[in-house]
Chain A
């Protein structure tokens, strides 16, 4: 596996983000010149400790997803710095001991919100799962073996290998996505609203799976959600975002039971309950 030989310091945070900012150009006029910038993420700093789950909450459009995408390079960072296990990320790479560099994609993986569009409809499960390892020069047999292991880990029958994504339910697809991201043995998993497209009973299964994985594989998880119940159930720490800025942060229980910021209070009062 790609990063088994890499050594990581104990006690160092998995992610240290400092002053992250993402800006999108706003174009206008006949020639489409850049008129202005929209700041989606505005000076966000946070720390994700090893083996912990940090939740980022906030309403739709507050920049949660953009924040995660900027960590894996899907969206370019305007400013700010990211350290993974105490090592600075530079052009999608982390410098390792002995002058070697490690790609961020070998360390950090991401699971997307919509399980229906995040699996290629033209590829079998086997192709989907083995491709990341084959791209890393692992033999097909080895990749296949690892794929079978991971399918078992996420409780999908191994007979699924020759099936296509549309033959699975939403929850099973999300498990496949999780299995795919684990193929490269990452240390950090970014989950972008992984449960919001699923119904409640399946949500619980996925949350249990993530918690089990965190424990068994020592994963550090950055969990994004707008669902306060889900956040309460799973997270160790919470980061509350509002219009691209962090308005409150802290240990999950404290923030969710005794919110300090007005926005957090409002967010918590929006949680629907049956009585009143």
Chain B
């Protein structure tokens, strides 16, 4: 079956495309997110390709043990130490102390940013945080971990978290608000009162409470936050469904004997998508903001997960190391700004009067 977009949808897409700021913000965000999805392999201290003694390895993608490279243990190979050992051996050889069996031949392609976000690099003199250098472009945090690597991994986790949260919250908002508007009568009023009670629960305390009982995992945090995230959307969906269920095409679907599911999802929902699409970018911003602030307060994801909120609190605790706070705040600012531009563009595209000027 050929999918044909309705003219209204096409017009909206055209209006969004015309808004250059919003369109390019979306492009930048999408590209940045997809690039950041590769960060487990490209922002890592494990070589992408490694030639060792005539054999080829792919350490960034496959786990090799120390024993594969002439070590004794089954633990994961430490490639930094491996390169170190080879260099020492070659230095020794240059000085005339040739080891038995000679030095192993090593050749490697390193990822573009060759730092693990979880590993401390204490090779420099003194105590971390280390200032930006050729080795650490944005410096290190107070544990000696690369700030850039943590920012990129933090971006991936933050956006994934916020996307999942928004999708889940949007789904709940559509279903709950839609049921209210679709059924109407005492269902509507009863559920509305329940929602008011539910929305008066302080989310932060619930997160802290449940986090302290069940631990702070990624999925648990999404579930708890999604349980509060849908409420504002449900108000809009309720209103849309209340309005649309009286339309003649919904009545004729009823007369034709269609089921409730068909009427809900096929007849009403496609006509009620405006608040869903308009609120999506702004809910996404809210998700990024709330995860960052929870991490900042120390109630977010379990450390040492790379996160922007944790970097910010480190920046606050180490004000003499401004590279931590400046780069984190800049990254957060740009991300939120671009998402807001996209949100504005979407909102204007959904509003047919958006181009009008009332002077």
Would you call A119 an interface residue if the criterion is a C-beta within 8 Å of the partner chain's C-beta atoms? yes
The docked-state distance in angstroms from the alpha carbon of A180 to that of B258 is 13
Most buried by A among B4, B252, B266, B271: B252
The docked-state distance in angstroms from the alpha carbon of A118 to that of B266 is 14
C-beta contact mask, B236-277 vs A, less than 8 Å → 1, else 0? Answer: 000000000001110111111111001000110011000000
CB-defined contacts of B8 to chain A, threshold 8 Å: 121
Quick one: closest A residue to B254, CB to CB?
A74
Most buried by B among A119, A131, A183: A131
| A118 and B248 contact, CB distance less than 8 A | yes
A130-144 at interface with B (beta carbon < 8 Å): 131-132, 135-136, 140
If the complex has contacts A131-B266, A162-B4, are A109 and B249 also in contact, measured as CB distance less than 8 A? no
| A74 and B6 contact, CB distance less than 8 A | no
Would you call A164 an interface residue if the criterion is a C-beta within 8 Å of the partner chain's C-beta atoms? yes
The docked-state distance in angstroms from the alpha carbon of A79 to that of B182 is 26
Which of B6, B257, B270, B271 contacts A135 (CB under 8 A)? B257
| B252 and A184 contact, CB distance less than 8 A | no
Would you call A106 an interface residue if the criterion is a C-beta within 8 Å of the partner chain's C-beta atoms? yes
C-beta contact mask, A127-166 vs B, less than 8 Å → 1, else 0? Answer: 0000110011000100000000000000000000010101
Would you call B99 an interface residue if the criterion is a C-beta within 8 Å of the partner chain's C-beta atoms? no
A30-76 at interface with B (beta carbon < 8 Å): 72-74
Quick one: closest B residue to A119, CB to CB?
B249
| B247 and A124 contact, CB distance less than 8 A | no
| B256 and A181 contact, CB distance less than 8 A | yes
| B257 and A106 contact, CB distance less than 8 A | yes
Interface of B is mostly: helix
If the complex has contacts A121-B6, A162-B4, are A177 and B252 also in contact, measured as CB distance less than 8 A? yes
Would you call A114 an interface residue if the criterion is a C-beta within 8 Å of the partner chain's C-beta atoms? yes
Which of A72, A112, A124, A162 contacts B248 (CB under 8 A)? A112
Would you call A198 an interface residue if the criterion is a C-beta within 8 Å of the partner chain's C-beta atoms? no
| B6 and A164 contact, CB distance less than 8 A | yes
If the complex has contacts A118-B252, A121-B6, are A132 and B247 also in contact, measured as CB distance less than 8 A? no
Would you call B200 an interface residue if the criterion is a C-beta within 8 Å of the partner chain's C-beta atoms? no
B interface, how many residues as a size bin?
20 to 34
Would you call A122 an interface residue if the criterion is a C-beta within 8 Å of the partner chain's C-beta atoms? yes
Quick one: closest B residue to A74, CB to CB?
B251
Quick one: closest A residue to B2, CB to CB?
A162
Quick one: closest A residue to B246, CB to CB?
A117
Would you call A103 an interface residue if the criterion is a C-beta within 8 Å of the partner chain's C-beta atoms? yes
CB-defined contacts of A105 to chain B, threshold 8 Å: 255-257
Which of A123, A162, A180 contacts B256 (CB under 8 A)? A180
| A122 and B255 contact, CB distance less than 8 A | no
The docked-state distance in angstroms from the alpha carbon of A74 to that of B259 is 14
B1-44 at interface with A (beta carbon < 8 Å): 1-2, 4, 6-8
| B258 and A135 contact, CB distance less than 8 A | yes
If the complex has contacts A121-B6, A121-B8, A135-B262, are A184 and B251 also in contact, measured as CB distance less than 8 A? no
The docked-state distance in angstroms from the alpha carbon of A45 to that of B271 is 39
CB-defined contacts of B249 to chain A, threshold 8 Å: 117-120
Q: How far is the CB of B251 from chain A (nearest CB, A)?
A: 6
Q: How far is the CB of B189 from chain A (nearest CB, A)?
A: 10
C-beta contact mask, A75-115 vs B, less than 8 Å → 1, else 0? Answer: 00000000000000000000000000001011001101110
Quick one: closest B residue to A109, CB to CB?
B255
Which of A120, A132, A177 contacts B257 (CB under 8 A)? A132
CB-defined contacts of A136 to chain B, threshold 8 Å: 257
C-beta contact mask, B338-351 vs A, less than 8 Å → 1, else 0? Answer: 00000000000000
Which of B1, B251, B256, B271 contacts A122 (CB under 8 A)? B271
If the complex has contacts A120-B271, A135-B262, A162-B2, are A72 and B247 also in contact, measured as CB distance less than 8 A? no
Most buried by A among B4, B248, B255: B255
The docked-state distance in angstroms from the alpha carbon of A136 to that of B256 is 10
If the complex has contacts A120-B267, A162-B2, are A132 and B258 also in contact, measured as CB distance less than 8 A? yes
Q: How far is the CB of B263 from chain A (nearest CB, A)?
A: 10
Quick one: closest A residue to B261, CB to CB?
A135
Quick one: closest B residue to A32, CB to CB?
B189
CB-defined contacts of B252 to chain A, threshold 8 Å: 110, 112, 118, 177, 180-181
CB-defined contacts of A122 to chain B, threshold 8 Å: 6, 270-271
Q: How far is the CB of B349 from chain A (nearest CB, A)?
A: 17
Q: How far is the CB of A207 from chain B (nearest CB, A)?
A: 21
Q: How far is the CB of B7 from chain A (nearest CB, A)?
A: 6
Other 14 A-B pairs with CB < 8 A, given A74-B251, A132-B256: A105-B255, A110-B252, A112-B248, A112-B251, A114-B248, A118-B249, A118-B251, A120-B267, A122-B6, A131-B266, A132-B258, A135-B256, A166-B7, A180-B252
Q: List 13 A-B contacts (CB under 8 A).
A: A74-B251, A103-B257, A105-B255, A105-B256, A113-B248, A120-B249, A122-B6, A124-B4, A131-B253, A140-B1, A162-B2, A162-B4, A181-B252
Which B residues have a C-beta under 8 Å from some C-beta of A? Answer: 1-2, 4, 6-8, 247-249, 251-259, 262, 266-267, 270-271
